[in-house]
Each structure stands twice: as C-alpha cells, then as structure tokens.
C-alpha cells in the first residue's frame, strides 16, 4: 500500500506539562474534533481514552505515555500524551527522544510549575520545537499575560503571543487571532462551531499593538519580512505564517495560544497551529548513527522513504491480546510486515510479524510502514528500550537513551513460594516496560528489593503486581537509595598474582582517588607514562566501574569520584587482562576506605503553594525535616515556597501538609541532586538501613 500523504504532511508531536495542567483533556478534545472519537472523554470521570490503565482511571492521572494517530486539514498527526507526575518523567524523556515537535500546556492560573520546567529542559535537550497552550482560561485567577512572562523568565524562552483572550475567567468566550486579525468566538457548548467576527472596537487598539509587536519579533528572524516591515510595505498572512513557522521549527520563537480544553474552547486553533507551525520529519536534521565497524564514523539517514530502513525502539509494553508490543519511530526508509530486520544494538536478526497503529490501547493492523511513522511492532523477541532496528544490509547504531538510577526502594516478600516463577516473570515484564524500575536480591538478607523513581512509582508497580499479575505479597516500607563518595584524596595499589583457570596471571595497578564534581559519576584520567597495551587500560577502567557498583561503607553504589591511574606494571609473559580488572577493582576499594568515605542522599526540589496564614507552620515543618528554604514568592494572593529537602524526610509529607493547611495547600516534589549526608544523620542512617539495600 502506498503512502497516503507526503512526509511533509506528517506531524509527530508530544503533549507535555506539569501534572493537572490539562494535557490529557486537550488530547481527548483533539481526538473528538479530528473525528477519532465521537464522545468527549473526561479525566475526572475516568472515561478518557488516553488514560486506559486501571490505575490511571482510578487516580485521574497519566502514568504511561499513550500514542494515537489522527488527521487534521490533510495532515497525519501522531500524538503521544505524556505523564505530568515527576515519578514518570522518563516517559516524557523517551517520548521526546523520538518526537519532532511538542505542545507545552500551562495552567492559566499556576503558569510555569516545577514539572513544566523539567519537561521544557528535556525538550531543550533534544532540540524539540514547541508551541504553548495556556489552558484553563475560564478559571478564577487565570492570567494569560502573566503566564507569558513566566515562560520568558522561568524557562529562558522567547514566547510569541498568537492570541489575545476575549474576556477573563468565567467570561472567557474566545480569542483574537493576532495573525489573521479576526475574533474567534466559541458559543457552542461542544466547541465545534467557531464564529469568526471582526475585532470589537473596544479590543482593536490593544490587538493592533500586539499584532505589530508580533510582526516585529518575527521579522528579526526573516530578512524579507523585516524589509517589508521597516519600509511599511504590505505583507500577506501566508508570508507571516511562513516566517513564524521557520522561527518555530528552529526553536527561535515559541508561539503561545490560549483556551480552555475542558470547556471546548481554543482546541481547533491549536490543531491549526500544529499543521501550520510545527515541524514535519523533513524539517528536522537528518538522524545520525555510528558506523557499526568504526564507532568514530557517523552515518546520516535523511527522512526519505528511499533511504535504507532505520528506526528506534523507544517503549516496550505488554498487551494481553498480542503479547510484547515494541513502539518504534521510523527515521528513514519503508518496510512491509513479515520482513527480516537487524537489531543492531544486540547484533541479532529478527522477523516482524505485524505492524499495529495504536490508539491508546486499541489496535489497527497495517501492512507497511514509512518514514516518520510511530508504530507498534509485534514479533520481536530480543529487544530493549533504546535498541536500533535497521534493514539487514545497511546497519547503523543510533545513540542509546540514558535512564537515571532509582532513588527509592522497598522490600517485597511472597506469601507463598509457589508464586516465585510467576513473580519473576512479572518483574521481568515490568523491567522491560520501564527502564527506571529495577529489581535485585540483597546478598545479606536475601530480600527481594524493587526500586523506582518515587513513592507513587513504586505504589503503581506494587498495585500492578497485586492486581494485574495476581501475585499476593507483603510489601515493606519505602527506603531511600543512598550513594557513597569520598571527601579526601588517597592513593592505593593492588597486585594480583594468582593463577586463573590454572594459568599464571599477573596484574598490578596504582591509583589515586579524589572527590568528584557533583553529578559527574566516575571520571578516569590516565597518567601512566610507560607502555601499556590499550586492552589492559580498558580492563583497568572496567574494574574501576565494577568497584563503583558497591561502596565501602554500606555497599551502596559509589558516585562522583575522580580516579587517576598512576601506574600499572606490565609483564609480557604473565600479564592477563582479567588480572588488571581485578587489581583495579581492589585498588579503588582500598583507596576509598582511606579517603574519608561518606554517604550521599537524594535531595528533592519542593514547591508548596499555600494561603499566607499557614506559612509559619509550613516553614517550621520544613526546618524540622532538614529543608532549606530557597525562595518565597506570591502568586495570585497565595504564597509559593521553594525549598530543597532530603527525600528521606518527605515520606508522609502529603498527609502532613494537608493537615497543617486544612487541605488548602498543594505541593510538588522533583528530584534535584545527590548531596552529602550530615555526620549527625549518617550514623542513624547506617544503623537503620545498613544491609537492606
């Protein structure tokens, strides 16, 4: 079957925002207006199409990124609705990795919230062009212009107001389109009928001023428009739109629209903006990958059906009807179902049985796929998130995705040993679906420990084990995942001179360790002046990495350590690669023991929004939890407290903050960084947690 529309008429977009800004509601409206659904789904009623998991319906939040496809004005739009909760931020990360553009949704009252900043930085990381939608304009306290200022100040972005709201709060009825210079009024409750009017005389002066500012800003990125603007010459709407599109695709400007998705106002203008201003696969730079024979050589693949096939697996999920589903972004080429492909990351050939176009958890079979498609594959057995899939004769390796280490753990214990195999299979499936979920058996206690990105993350995992996989188990209390580091400089050496598999083996390594920069991980510098084979040096570094997996205080992973390799004796007759790996492993352990080792704990960025009368109680409570107040601001007559607080002190915080404020305060927690634990706290931590993780 031939491609139904050219690549330039494809849009791959994500919808991203802070929790409860209205992402899923916006997606539901998009599906309704594009004819994909015939009934408006509501998040608060548990009827949203995109929130299909039981846990999502019960909690009214998005947990897993859901994909769907729709059409608008002769354009295919692939949409991924991403979670807003910080515990599931990697769902956003891996979605943005394969998307060409995004819609950033902001709460018209709250503006830029903590998770808004996180997802914006993630989009910056992958150079994803964005448009902005200021939602909930009908709510008390909504302020479109303040949201624009916050985008500029908090996100260091250059917003381009495309709308001027007509009416505020409950009187919000429509917008002035600042490009077309027309009023758009939604007086139909379903939002399907838009009345286009001339701009009311009372709004004309302000609208004309905003239009002039818009043209002036856009002309900074378009020489032809700049010339016409300065000379006072006429320019067409099409010329202005083309200039806005070019500036948006290059992420020079971020067009801002407004509306209220729940009240069905402003959604069609966002859809028009997706078509008019966001990037197609043709507009983004060609994807680059490593030559499999020489990783220093980069190979490009243009977004073209005639190029060799290349795709990236960005998500794996288990479907009760078809088994393992692998979501893939096609970067180049085309393919028919039943063909063989190469998993370049694993070096294995596999056959794809079926292609499925997904609509949340509903499926539609397709026989062939093309450049720009986001599709689900059935039939791949050996595959992981981040694997590159190519045609057999033209392999290249795309850059893999990095996933953060879990920060919180709990112990899980089966009520019956008969369920052990069932549990192992369930945990394996969950690990395949979610790279931020880890499991391990504690060698000291024999306990099974599962780890994740936060309390809610683990709560969802446990809920799925108990209900979806029907595994009865006892669950322990959450425990923080600490790390170890050094605070002083030390030297150590280790000689390994023992037989390995009956053969003489020799390896000698001398190193120095130093405290590293926060977030740097392991940094290795080679200061060996004498000859040493490259393979031996690789084994020394591998041994150092092995040693970092378990520290010297309580067995937690080590981090933020700089190692200088000072020397390594080499004996042509006895030196063995493995011996150097063992020697460097022991040398780092020995050096760490005498370099004043200490624990590091995860620290969270906390925002509390509350009425002024509860400020004192909240601050006193934060101080008692080792919190550090960074800023206190005012937002719509509410106080906003920004603070840093150790993760270990946040357990039960939701209940506590509700109690102190009589349910009137809200808070957000986002992982910030790891920080050294105070000496007074470390002994308590070691006495309580040692041996559990």
Of the pLDDT bands very low, low, confident and very high (cuts 50, 70, 90), residue 64 is low
* Closest alpha carbon to 679 in 489, 487, 550, 490: 487
Specify the pLDDT at position 66.
67
Specify the pLDDT at position 367.
87
Of the pLDDT bands very low, low, confident and very high (cuts 50, 70, 90), residue 563 is very high
Residue 535 reports pLDDT greater than 70: yes
Residue 62 reports pLDDT greater than 50: no
Least confident of 207-211, 245-249, 317-321, 557-561: 317-321
Of the pLDDT bands very low, low, confident and very high (cuts 50, 70, 90), residue 59 is very low
Distance CA 269, CA 624 (A): 49
Q: What are phi and psi of 466, to 5 degrees?
A: -75, -40
Q: What is the pLDDT of residues 115-137, one digit of tens each?
A: 788 788 888 888 999 999 999 99
The two three-digit tokens of residue 273, written as one number = 């903006």
Is residue 318 within 8 A of residue 433, CB to CB? The reply is yes
Portion of the chain with pLDDT greater than 90, in percent: 37
Specify the pLDDT at position 465.
83
Q: What is the mean pLDDT of residues 165-169?
A: 91
Three-state secondary structure string covering 74-96: CCEEEEEECCCCHHHHHHHHHHH
Q: What is the pLDDT of residues 289-338, one digit of tens each?
A: 888 888 788 888 999 999 999 999 888 877 667 777 888 899 999 988 88
Least confident of 316-325, 416-425, 544-553: 316-325
Residue 42 reports pLDDT greater than 60: no
Q: What is the pLDDT of residues 133-152, one digit of tens each?
A: 999 999 998 999 999 999 99
Of the pLDDT bands very low, low, confident and very high (cuts 50, 70, 90), residue 47 is very low
Specify the pLDDT at position 320.
66
- Phi/psi-derived region of residue 317, left when phi > 0, alpha when psi is between -120 and 50, beta in every other case: beta
Least confident of 27-41, 211-225, 468-482, 612-626: 27-41
Residue 56 reports pLDDT greater than 60: no
Distance CA 28, CA 267 (A): 10
Is residue 65 within 8 A of residue 82, CB to CB? The reply is yes
pLDDT, mean over the chain: 85
Q: What is the pLDDT of residues 71-121, one digit of tens each?
A: 899 999 988 877 655 556 677 777 888 889 999 999 999 898 877 887 888
Is residue 521 within 8 A of residue 563, CB to CB? The reply is no
More confident residue, 2 or 220: 220
Q: What is the mean pLDDT of residues 229-250?
A: 90
Q: What is the DSSP letter of 615?
A: H
Specify the pLDDT at position 16.
86
Beta-strand pair 76-81/174-177: unpaired
- Which residue reads 């004769």 in tokens? 393
Q: Which run of H or of E encompasses 685?
A: helix 679-689
Q: Using alpha carbons only, give the angle 165, 169, 175 rounded to the nearest 5 degrees.
A: 15
Q: What is the DSSP letter of 113?
A: -
Specify the pLDDT at position 418.
79
Specify the pLDDT at position 376.
86
Specify the pLDDT at position 356.
85
Q: What is the pLDDT of residues 650-683, one digit of tens each?
A: 887 877 887 888 777 878 777 888 999 988 888 8
Three-state secondary structure string covering 598-609: EEEEEEEEEEEE
Residue 41 reports pLDDT greater than 70: no
More confident residue, 3 or 197: 197
Least confident of 196-205, 274-283, 436-445: 436-445
Residue 533 reports pLDDT greater than 90: no
Q: Using alpha carbons only, give the angle 442, 446, 451 rounded to the nearest 5 degrees.
A: 40
Portion of the chain with pLDDT greater than 70, in percent: 91
Is residue 430 within 8 A of residue 448, CB to CB? The reply is no
Q: Using alpha carbons only, give the angle 529, 533, 539 rounded to the nearest 5 degrees.
A: 105
Give the CA-trace dihedral at 371, 27, 131, 20, to 10 degrees.
Answer: -130
Coil, strand, or helix at residue 578? helix
Q: What is the pLDDT of residues 578-624, one digit of tens each?
A: 889 999 999 999 999 999 999 999 998 888 888 888 899 999 999 99
Distance CA 670, CA 647 (A): 10
Q: Edge-to-edge strands of the sheet including 76-81?
A: 66-71, 76-81, 10-17, 101-107, 130-135, 254-258, 159-161
Is residue 670 within 8 A of residue 604, CB to CB? The reply is yes
Specify the pLDDT at position 564.
94
């Amino acid at each position: 079957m031939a491609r139904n529309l050219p690549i330039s008429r494809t849009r791959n977009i994500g919808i991203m925002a802070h929790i409860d800004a209205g992402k899923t509601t916006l997606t539901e409206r998009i599906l309704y207006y594009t004819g994909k659904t015939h009934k408006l789904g509501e998040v608060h009623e548990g009827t949203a199409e995109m929130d299909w998991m039981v846990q999502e319906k019960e909690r009214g939040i998005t947990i897993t990124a859901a994909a769907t496809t729709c059409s608008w004005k002769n354009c295919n739009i692939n949409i991924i609705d991403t979670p807003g909760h910080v515990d599931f931020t990697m769902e956003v990360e891996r979605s943005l990795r394969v998307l060409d553009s995004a819609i950033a949704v902001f709460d018209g009252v709250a503006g830029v919230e903590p998770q808004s900043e996180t997802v914006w930085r993630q989009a910056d990381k992958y150079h994803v062009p964005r448009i902005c939608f200021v939602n909930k304009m009908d709510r008390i306290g909504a302020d479109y212009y303040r949201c624009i200022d916050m985008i500029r100040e908090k996100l260091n972005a250059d917003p381009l107001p495309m709308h001027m709201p007509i009416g505020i709060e409950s009187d919000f009825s429509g917008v002035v389109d600042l490009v077309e210079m027309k009023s758009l009024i939604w007086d139909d409750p379903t939002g399907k009928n838009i009345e286009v009017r001339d701009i009311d005389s009372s709004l004309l002066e302000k609208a004309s001023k905003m239009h002039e500012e818009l043209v002036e800003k856009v002309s900074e990125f378009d020489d032809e428009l700049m010339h016409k603007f300065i000379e006072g010459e006429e320019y067409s709407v099409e010329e202005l739109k083309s200039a806005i599109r070019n500036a948006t695709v290059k992420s020079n400007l971020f067009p801002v629209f407004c509306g209220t998705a729940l009240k069905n106002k402003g959604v069609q203008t966002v859809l028009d903006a997706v078509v008019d201003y966001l990037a197609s696969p043709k507009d983004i730079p060609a994807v680059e990958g490593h030559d499999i024979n020489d990783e220093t050589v980069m190979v490009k693949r243009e977004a073209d059906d005639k190029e060799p096939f290349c795709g990236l697996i960005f998500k794996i999920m288990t479907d009760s009807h078809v088994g393992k589903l692998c979501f893939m972004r096609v970067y180049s080429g085309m393919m028919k179902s039943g063909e063989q492909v190469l998993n370049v990351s694993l070096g294995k050939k596999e056959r794809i049985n079926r292609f499925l176009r997904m609509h949340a958890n509903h499926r539609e079979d397709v026989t062939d796929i093309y450049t720009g498609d986001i599709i689900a594959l059935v039939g791949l057995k050996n595959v992981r998130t981040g694997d590159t899939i190519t045609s057999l004769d033209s392999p290249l390796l795309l850059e893999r995705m990095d996933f953060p280490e879990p920060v919180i753990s709990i112990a899980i214990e089966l009520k019956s040993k008969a369920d052990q195999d069932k549990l192992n299979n369930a945990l394996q499936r969950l690990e395949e679906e979610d790279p931020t979920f880890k499991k391990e058996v504690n060698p000291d206690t024999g306990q099974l420990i599962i780890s994740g990105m936060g309390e809610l993350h683990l709560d969802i995992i446990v809920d799925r084990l108990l209900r979806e996989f029907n595994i009865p188990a006892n669950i322990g209390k959450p425990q923080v995942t600490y790390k170890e580091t050094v605070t002083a400089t030390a030297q150590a050496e280790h000689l390994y001179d023992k037989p390995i598999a009956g053969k003489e083996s020799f390896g000698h390594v001398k190193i120095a360790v130093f405290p590293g920069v926060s977030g740097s991980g392991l940094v290795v510098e080679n200061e060996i002046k004498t000859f040493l084979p490259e393979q031996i040096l690789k084994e020394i570094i591998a041994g150092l990495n092995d040693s970092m997996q378990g520290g010297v205080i309580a067995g937690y992973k080590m981090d933020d350590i700089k190692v200088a390799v000072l020397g390594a004796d080499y004996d042509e007759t006895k030196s063995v690669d493995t011996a150097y790996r063992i020697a460097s492993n022991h040398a780092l352990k020995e050096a760490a023991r005498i370099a004043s080792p200490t624990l590091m704990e995860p620290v969270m960025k906390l925002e509390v929004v509350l009425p002024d009368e509860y400020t004192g109680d909240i601050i006193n409570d934060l101080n008692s939890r080792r919190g550090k107040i960074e800023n206190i601001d005012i937002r719509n007559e509410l106080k906003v407290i920004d603070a840093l607080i150790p993760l270990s002190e946040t357990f039960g915080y939701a209940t506590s903050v509700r109690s102190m404020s009589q349910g009137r305060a809200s808070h957000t927690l986002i992982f910030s960084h790891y920080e050294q634990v105070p000496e007074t706290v470390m002994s308590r931590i070691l006495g309580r947690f040692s041996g559990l993780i």
